Structure formats: structure tokens, C-alpha cells
Structure 1
Amino acid sequence: MTAKAFIAAPAGLTVSGEERRFFGAERPWGFILFARNVGSKNQLADLVAELKELGGRETTPIFIDQEGGRINRLRPPLAPAYPTPAAIGRLFALDPEAGERAAWLQGRLLAADVMAFGINADCVPCLDVPVAGAHSVIGDRAYGLNPETVAVLGRAVADGAMAGGVLPVMKHVPGHGRGNADSHLELPRVETSRNELAKSDFAPFRALATLPAAMTAHILYTDVDPRHPATLSPIVIDSVIRKEIGFDGLLMSDDMSMKALSGDLYDLSAAALTAGCDVVLHCNGEMDEMRRVASAAQPLAGDAERRAAACEAVIARRSETMDEAALRAEFARLMERLG
């Protein structure tokens, strides 16, 4: 049975009987984990193993947001804390070679942290380029304030993740840096011209267009599509993401339950898939909502199935061997240069 075009999230530390029946019947393509799903080392490893069993294949994607800085679902003692992406950007400004190496190391070490539990997909790098006056939801999650820096460091992080056998997901395409609101709470609007967006916001995604996966931004770009946020916009997805940026990898929505989107979860999910998202993401674990999302999602087929298979091929690669202690020591030495 082919997996369906959605990513689901369990509600707690274990898979409930109701969830087991639902996931087994509806076959989401992958799963995503949050702090509510993280207890002990053994508990988390068991949860991941059960989700892969329900997915029916060892390459079932198990996603997490583990960026470094303030966005981390795994925290000490389960995983180390890391500097913010912005700190790596400051090192890059001081010494480009050292900054790029630190970015690769952080990607590689984040991969080691999540793979210790069997988690095989990390929603990094964040390629958003903040501007003055934008909402702080991105802030120090960005690697810099210019698209060139963000592209170089984002590429290094993604390469480090893949060297560790982890699927990276660049976000939030085509750019969240100008958002005037937190899309978890309301819909941001960006009124910047498309030409200006192409020079700055779109540029890091265009530079990294060969990466295997990306996550959409729940943002209304009024000069591109004044009616629909990117996740629901055939214009943004086809004209900007697929054609102008040139991305042909798997496009997953940001969380469909975020307040930036309003309406029934069936209608929203169907609209996102019709607009051109390959899979839709649902994060809060609410069973009634998941049922609506699953009802809208169809079995993966065509380009979406091809792109999903390419992502699983990244997961299937064996991670490159490393001297973890030596790489952690090198990373620490590089970051100490910031004082």
C-alpha cells in the first residue's frame, strides 16, 4: 500500500492504540516529533522504532526541528546545546573559511544527535533572510542578513546533515524573513515587490535548489498572489518555487494547523495539495484534525512519489564515519573565536 501525502505527529510519549490503528490504516508518508514526544533516551528510541514499523519501511521519514540556538526539540542531557545560526554567521563574517566549516560541523553533529535515536530527517537549514522591522520569529535562526551568507552557510549545514545520513529540509520557501507576524499565530503579509524578493528572499533557495526537500512559508506575498498564502498558492508554488527558484525536490507544507491558515483542515489540506505541495504536514497530534488531513491526502503518485523516493534515498545512505569527539572539539574551538 503506497504511503499517503501527509506527515503526522503522535500526541505523546508513546503511540496510543487509537493512533496505531489510524496510522496503520491511513499510512502517512512520515512522522514529526516535538518536545511533547521526548522523555528518556530509551523511550524516544522506542517511539521512533514503532513509528518506522507503522510506516512499513526503515526509510520512513521521522522529522524533527533541531536547528541549534532556540529551536531544539532535543535538549541536554539527550543532546547538546548549540550556538544560534546567527552566531555561525558572525564567525563567517570574521573568517569565511572558519564559518563555513563550523556550519558543516553543526549540520554533521546535529545529524549525529538525532540519529542516536533513529530520527532521520531534520528541518534545517533555515534560509530566511531577515530585514529591519520584521517579526522576531526568525531573528537569530537566520545565518545572516544577506542572501549570499545565508546560502553558503545553509549549504554547509545541509551537506553536514546528509553526511550524517539525515535528510535536510530547507525552510521556509520562498522566504519568511520579511514576515510582519508570527505565522503560528496569524497570517504575515509581505508587500515587497516580486523583483525585490527575487534579489534577496528567493536567492538562497535558488542557490540551494538541488536540495531534496523544502518546507513552505505560510505568508501572503501580495505582489505575487494577493489572495492566497504561499502554501495554498498555485502561483507561488508553480511560478516562484518550481520555475523561478528551480526547485524540483519534495515540497512539504508548514504545519497546516498553524493560525496563519484559517478554515477546515480538509479544505486547507486539499487546497495545499492542489496548489502543488507534495505532502502536507500536521503537527499538533489532535486526532480529529489528523483525520481531516488524512481524508484530503491521496496516495503519493507521479512527481510527488518520485520526489518522496529521492528523499528516502538520502535517508538510505549510510552516514560517513567520523571521530565524533574530535569534531565536537573542533567545533568548540571555532566558536570560541567569537569570545
Structure 2
Amino acid sequence: MKRTPYVILKTHHTRPYAAAAAILCTLLVAGCGSGGNAQSASPAPPAASTAPSASAPAQQQDSTPLPSASPAAAATAEADPLALKVSAMSLPDKIGQMLLVGIDGTTLDDTAKRMIAEDKVGGIILYKDNINNLKGLVSLVNDLRSSNAGSPAPLFLSVDQEGGKVSRMPSEFAALPSNRTVGAANDTAAAETMGQLLAKQVRAAGLNMDFAPVLDINSNPDNPVIGDRSFGSTAELVTRLGLAELKGFEDAGVIPVVKHFPGHGDTSVDSHLELPVVDKTQAQLAKLEWLPFQAAVDQQADVVMVAHILYPKLDPDRPASLSSAVIGGLLREDMGFRGVVITDDLTMGAITKNYKLGPAAVDTVNAGSDILLIAHGYDNERTVRNALLQGVENGTISIERIDQSVHRILALKQKYQLSDQPIEVPDLAALNKEIAAWRDKLKR
């Protein structure tokens, strides 16, 4: 469905969260959190962008003088070491930290090296096509780390490792079951252990970020993309087990990314191919889809992924991933999220078939996103990077908005003590034995 993008919206947010919080308290026996996310000192971004992005920006050359620091960042740098670091970074380096990209093949090619060494991208996502065996994976990870020498911060090295059908680890790793299997056992402790085991797999491979847990409620049996990736069809079950898995990841020292906000469970279209539309009101969403995400925010989740889904009653012109009403208004202002927001892959059909990539990148940053996931194509990475550079140069994006995101990103990397030091090929015997014992216990 083709829509006219990039108009300035006049959106008035309602505040359904008092009712949602009451429902959440009923669902969660342990009670509700404070609603704040205290791990980041950065202020929330503006609730709406100040200018539309009507066409793709021109290509921006790195040699063009560009602003590197806002007056506000310079004023607070003395009291905040991270702010000092942000203020000292060049604009191209700041933009690089906001990009998380995919690469081709199982070895580091020239385009991947350029994205890391020249464009200073902040992170890499690996897919099944990048992984052949354990030794090859460790070699690739070490090459990625060494290529990042001289960059402002260590790389996010990320993967989709959920268990079940969404598993990227090579065959040397013992398999983990789907969320549905864990949901059927209805065991909170088992879900927490699953998060720990997934994190141990990711860390053993030298990775530090996992796009899990899935907090979508599988409320639509015709959903082509969620299904057994969800713990179940009720908010109570998904919230309780999802938060347990989240804790497992955090305790094991791997960055978890909760997804797919505002909720992919009631879609009937795969956003990898087309743009899903969910015609629910705020009140309807607050009673079901948003409950696990609000609970994750209350538990101080570090990262939330925003989905490419159009909610006409929230924003009739932009999907959630590009919407100030959803990211700046709903997630940050209403729900109180102060962590890192990452988009789902901007090269998915939901975006590429309906919006131009460059303007979409500008819109999602103005909406409040911190990291832009560009999973496929060096040309796409360059398009996004140049659009953001041009956006700052022409005033479409403020340098303050960029500094907010970079501060959040550096704070997250610091919190999890990321490193670009090489790793050894691990011995997986003990981990695989632990996974097998957990699976056997789950079946009883």
C-alpha cells in the first residue's frame, strides 16, 4: 500500500497509561516499577521533528566542514566524561556510531573494512550467511574487532539468537527450543535460564548484543512472522517469561534488545516483505500489546527495537519506526523509556517499497531513534550515512539530537564493558552439557 510520506504531523497524544499500569500491576504479582529508566543521563528527544524530509539528500563529502558539538554538550562536558567524549567527536564519527550494519560473506571483505575503518560504523549484525562453523565465526569476529582500531568505541557485535527457528549459531552449539516451548512449560525460572544460556552462546562466539527477547503477544493465529517466536497468546505469560529472559541476558553480560515495539503479534503481513497495518486504537493497544513493553521499560531495559508497522490511529502517515508520535511521544514520553532505541532493518520491504531510504533515516532520527539498522547493502549504508550528514548540515536534524543518541550509545557500550580484544576459539563442552540438562528438565 503506497502512502504519501514525509508530512509534518500535528499529533495530540492521549495518555492511556494510568489504566495500563493498573492492568499491568494485576498481571505482575511482584508489582509495578517506577516507570522510569535511570540508566541514561541523556534527556529525551523532542516529541516531533522540526522539518519534513521530502526528498533524498545529496551526497555529502567527508571533507566538508561540519559542526561537531552543540553548545549544550560543551557546557556539560566538564561534569560528564561521556559528554566530553561526545563533544570531542567529529560529526562523521558521531553518525557512524548510530549505524549498525550487515556484511556479506563469512570473511571480512573490502566493503566491510571500509564501513568499519572509514565510516566508523558503531556495530555489525551477523546472519546465517555470515556463519559457517565455530572456528570461522571466531575468525570473522576477531577480524571485525581488529578492523575497528582507531574508532571512538568498541563495536556492537550483534545477532538474532532467539532459540527455535531463529538461531544463527553454528552447529557446534547445542540447540535451544522456541519461546513457545518455554511458554508451554509456564516456568519463569526456565525462561530466565534460557536468557542466560542464549547469552552464554552469544558471548562464547565473541558477540555482545542479541536481538531478544521477543515480547510480541501471539494474538493473531494468521500471523506469518511471529508464531512460535512468542511465549504465548496472553499478556500475563509473555510479560512474566519475557522479563525473566531479559534478566537472564543482563545477568550474563550480553545486551538484550526487546522487540518488536509496539507489538508485531497481531499483524497478518510479514514486514520483511510488505508494510503491515494494525488498525487499533491507543486504548486497545494499551490493554494488550504494550503491556510487556511497559513492563520492560519499568525493569529498565537497555534497548528497544521499533517495528515497521503502520498504526493509522497513532500516526496515519508513518510506520512506528519513523514516527515521532510513536517513538518520541509514546515510547519515550508516555512510557518513560530513556534507553537506546534501534530500528528494525531499514532495508526491509515495509520501508523500501513505501519510502525513500535517505528521508526515512532522517525521519527516524528526528522521531527519537538512536541506532539505525541497515542489514543489507554497502550502498544503503552510504545512503543513510550521507542523508544524516546532510540533515545536520542543512538544519533538518539538530546537532543536539545527534548528541543525545551518541551519548546513549556510548553509555550502553560502557555499561556492558565492550571490548575489541580478540578471543580464542571456545571449548563448548560444558555449555552444551548445561543446555542439554536444561532441555531435559524442561520436558518433565
Instruction: Tell me if TM exceeds 0.5.
Output: yes
Instruction: Name which of 40, 61, 66 aligns with 2:156.
Output: 61
| 1:231-310 equivalences in 2 (<5 Å) | 231-261=321-351, 262-284=354-376, 286-297=377-388, 301-310=402-411
Instruction: Name which of 96, 104, 110 aligns with 1:11.
Output: 104
Instruction: Name which of 229, 239, 252 aligns with 1:164.
Output: 252
TM-fit CA distance, 1:108: 0.9
Instruction: Show the counterpart of 1:22.
Output: 115
Contact 2:257 2:302 in 1 (8 A): yes
Instruction: Show the counterpart of 2:292.
Output: 204
* Corresponding letter in the other structure for 2:108: V
Contact 1:249 1:307 in 2 (8 A): yes
- The separation in 2 between residues aligned to 1:317 and 1:146, in whole angstroms, is 36
* Corresponding letter in the other structure for 1:163: D
Secondary structure at 2:273 match in 1: coil
Instruction: Show the counterpart of 2:311.
Output: 221
Contact 1:182 1:188 in 2 (8 A): yes
Contact 2:219 2:234 in 1 (8 A): no
Instruction: Show the counterpart of 2:196.
Output: 108
Label 1:82 to 1:306 Cα distance change in 2 as closer, same or farther (>3 A): same
Q: Which has the higher contact order (CA 8 A, sep 6+)?
A: 2
Contact 1:183 1:260 in 2 (8 A): yes
- The separation in 1 between residues aligned to 2:407 and 2:132, in whole angstroms, is 35
Secondary structure at 1:112 match in 2: helix
- The separation in 1 between residues aligned to 2:268 and 2:180, in whole angstroms, is 20
- The separation in 1 between residues aligned to 2:436 and 2:109, in whole angstroms, is 41
Instruction: Show the counterpart of 2:280.
Output: 192
Instruction: Show the counterpart of 2:435.
Output: 328
Alignment of 1:139 with 2:227, yes or no, is yes
Question: Which TM-score applies when normalising by structure 1?
Answer: 0.90
TM-fit CA distance, 1:223: 1.1
Could you tell which deviates more after superposition, 214-223 or 304-313?
Answer: 304-313
Instruction: Name which of 126, 133, 142 aligns with 1:33.
Output: 126
Secondary structure at 1:303 match in 2: helix
* Corresponding letter in the other structure for 1:275: A
TM-fit CA distance, 1:71: 0.5
* Corresponding letter in the other structure for 1:76: S
TM-fit CA distance, 1:133: 4.5
Instruction: State the aligned residue count.
Output: 325
TM-fit CA distance, 1:303: 2.4
Gaps of 5+ in 2: 1-88, 390-398, 420-429
TM-fit CA distance, 1:243: 2.1
Contact 1:166 1:314 in 2 (8 A): no
Contact 1:173 1:215 in 2 (8 A): yes
Instruction: Name which of 140, 165, 171 aligns with 1:76.
Output: 171
Instruction: Show the counterpart of 2:416.
Output: 315
TM-fit CA distance, 1:22: 3.1
TM-fit CA distance, 1:188: 0.3
Instruction: Show the counterpart of 1:96.
Output: none
Secondary structure at 1:170 match in 2: strand
* Corresponding letter in the other structure for 1:23: I
TM-fit CA distance, 1:249: 0.9
* Corresponding letter in the other structure for 2:320: A
Could you tell which deviates more after superposition, 203-212 or 4-13?
Answer: 4-13
Contact 1:143 1:154 in 2 (8 A): yes
* Corresponding letter in the other structure for 2:322: L
Secondary structure at 1:131 match in 2: coil
Instruction: Show the counterpart of 2:145.
Output: 52
Contact 2:132 2:170 in 1 (8 A): no
- The separation in 1 between residues aligned to 2:431 and 2:106, in whole angstroms, is 28
Question: Which TM-score applies when normalising by structure 2?
Answer: 0.69
Gaps of 5+ in 1: 93-98
Could you tell which deviates more after superposition, 38-47 or 303-312?
Answer: 303-312
